[in-house]
């Protein structure tokens, strides 16, 4: 019975897009009512570069059957999931939900994280991030964080339950990212609510993919010692997806991160490739601008990260974003943000990538006072309130849909 219901839901998910009009309406709920944004200029530059993505979105919207993978990488602005949640929710409402995407037990690693999933464990873990270790090469992977324990009985449970709304989401596919060695424990992947053990389907040196027979709302990873060599369990990240067509929007962020921190992470680009991204969005610049940085150096780090990602993900498209204005160490006008944004802008334009220039159309220099006076920036004057991040997410969604609708309108 459960198998029949699951199959029926999958068929509905695959077919529902056929009843949608090709274009997507931008509703009042998607708009931002702050007058300092030049919303007419909220457009993606070089939007034609994104036509392969828009074509896939069009096919999913009109026929179904398309899996669209977007990977959004950045610093603390992305880590909190406030921006990406706005984009993810709206894109999935318009094109179908293919899963939550990347998650990580951030609290166990000693940092903040998203609020739309819960994590529990029976043991203490050691955690670190790619931003904290400054060696030329670091042993980090897809999340920019790592988590490790030596406990043989270690368990880690993820629940897709939003702490604010109590809303739950289902998934059937669990990808565990590890750069596995002989010293690491094996895993058992199970759900205690439905009494299911997930089956290992694919395995590589960088990730293992498991499937449940029936949809679940939680998953437990349990260490299993099978050889005398195994002495620890290490995790780079987890991706939770379903087997429906639609959008999966992965968000990856690290507090204090710069482009170079992910360049130095040895396994990062290789594991991102496991997500088979159609679009990679790179959102950095705030931390580079917290000190005077040579624009040529910034350009090199942008090129290094982009090069690593495209070497491993040759079919992915790339879009850069510029950071909104903020204060220098929270104390006043930051003269470096214009230079950093200019370096990002120039690199994207010179290489022909897509660009979302938030810094420019939200006011540029000294616009941080506009964000702050409207309650959109926190007391540290570097980060933004939930409302400030929600505004950024809505604006990013609008720009993507404007580009998509323009593509649809141009079709014969």
* CA-closest candidate to residue 176, choices 154, 149, 196, 156: 156
Cα–Cα distance for residue pair 181/305, rounded to 1 Å: 26
CA R_g for the chain: 21
Beta strands, E only, 104-160? 118-121, 126-129, 145-149, 155-159
Alpha helices in 138-185 (DSSP H): none
pLDDT of residue 88: 98
Alpha helices in 233-364 (DSSP H): 259-263, 268-272, 295-312, 337-351, 358-361
DSSP 8-class letter at 47: G
By the 10 Å C-beta count (0-12 exposed, 13-18 middle, 19+ buried), 348 is classed as buried
pLDDT of residue 240: 98
- Reading the block at residue 57, the tokens are 């979105």
Cα–Cα distance for residue pair 68/73, rounded to 1 Å: 16
Cα–Cα distance for residue pair 366/335, rounded to 1 Å: 9
* CA-closest candidate to residue 284, choices 109, 399, 130, 101: 130
pLDDT of residue 330: 73
By the 10 Å C-beta count (0-12 exposed, 13-18 middle, 19+ buried), 216 is classed as buried
Q: Are 75 and 257 in contact (CB under 8 A)?
A: yes
Hey, what domains does the chain have and what are their CATH numbers? Answer: 29-98+245-412 (3.40.50.1110), 102-243 (2.60.120)
Q: Are 130 and 146 in contact (CB under 8 A)?
A: no
- Reading the block at residue 259, the tokens are 């482009």
CA-based torsion, 351, 352, 355, 360: positive or negative: positive
* CA-closest candidate to residue 68, choices 55, 81, 79: 55
- pLDDT values of the chain reduced to their tens digit, one per residue, 412 residues: 434 444 444 444 444 444 679 999 999 999 998 989 998 899 999 999 999 999 999 999 999 999 999 999 999 999 999 999 999 999 999 999 999 999 999 999 999 999 999 999 999 999 999 999 989 999 999 999 999 999 999 999 999 988 778 889 999 999 999 998 999 999 999 999 999 999 999 999 999 999 999 999 999 999 999 999 999 999 999 999 998 999 999 999 999 999 999 999 999 999 999 999 999 999 999 999 998 888 899 999 999 999 999 999 999 999 999 999 999 977 888 999 999 999 999 999 999 999 999 999 999 999 999 999 999 999 999 999 999 999 999 999 999 999 999 999 998 8
- Reading the block at residue 157, the tokens are 């449970």
Cα–Cα distance for residue pair 178/166, rounded to 1 Å: 30
**How many separate helices (H) and strands (E) can be counted in the chain?**
11, 18
- Ramachandran angles phi, psi of 31, nearest 5°: -100, 165
pLDDT of residue 17: 47
Produce one character per residue of 276-298: b if its CB has 16 or more CB atoms within 10 Å, e if not.
ebbbbbbbbbbbbbbeebebeeb
pLDDT of residue 19: 60
- Which 3 state secondary structure label does DSSP give 136? coil
């Amino acid at each position: 019975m459960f198998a029949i219901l699951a199959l029926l839901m999958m068929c509905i998910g695959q077919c529902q897009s056929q009843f949608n009009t090709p274009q997507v309406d931008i509703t009042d709920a998607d708009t931002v009512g702050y007058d300092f944004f030049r919303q007419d200029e909220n457009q993606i530059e070089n939007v034609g570069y994104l036509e392969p993505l828009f074509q896939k979105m069009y096919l999913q919207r009109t026929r179904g059957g398309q899996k669209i993978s977007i990977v959004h990488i950045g610093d603390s602005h992305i880590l909190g999931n406030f921006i990406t949640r706005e984009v993810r929710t709206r894109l999935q409402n318009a094109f179908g939900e293919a899963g939550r995407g990347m998650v990580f037990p951030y609290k166990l690693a000693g940092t903040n994280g998203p609020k739309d999933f819960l994590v529990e464990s029976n043991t203490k873990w050691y955690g670190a991030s790619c931003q904290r270790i400054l060696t030329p090469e670091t042993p980090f992977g897809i999340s920019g964080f790592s988590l490790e324990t030596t406990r043989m009985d270690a368990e880690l449970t993820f629940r897709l339950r939003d702490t604010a709304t109590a809303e739950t989401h289902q998934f059937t596919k669990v990808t565990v990212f590890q750069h596995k060695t002989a010293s690491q424990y094996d895993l058992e992947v199970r759900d205690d609510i439905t009494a299911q053990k997930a089956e290992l389907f694919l395995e590589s040196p960088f990730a293992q993919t498991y499937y449940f027979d029936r949809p679940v709302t939680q998953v437990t990873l349990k260490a299993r010692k099978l050889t005398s060599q195994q002495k620890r369990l290490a995790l780079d990240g987890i991706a939770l997806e379903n087997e429906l067509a639609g959008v999966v929007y992965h968000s990856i962020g690290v507090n204090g991160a710069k482009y170079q921190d992910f360049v130095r992470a040895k396994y990062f680009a290789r594991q991102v490739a496991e997500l088979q991204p159609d679009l990679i969005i790179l959102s950095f610049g705030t931390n580079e601008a917290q000190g005077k940085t040579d624009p040529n150096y910034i350009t090199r780090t942008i090129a290094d990260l982009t090069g690593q990602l495209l070497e491993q993900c040759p079919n992915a498209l790339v879009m850069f974003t510029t950071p909104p204005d903020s204060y220098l160490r929270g104390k006043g006008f930051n003269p470096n943000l214009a230079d950093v944004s200019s370096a990002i802008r120039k690199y994207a334009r010179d290489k022909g990538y897509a660009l979302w220039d938030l810094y420019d159309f939200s006011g540029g220099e000294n616009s941080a006072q506009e964000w702050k006076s409207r309650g959109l920036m926190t007391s540290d004057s570097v980060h933004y309130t939930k409302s400030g991040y929600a505004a950024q997410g809505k604006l990013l969604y609008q720009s993507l849909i404007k580009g998509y609708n323009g593509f649809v309108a141009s079709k014969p």
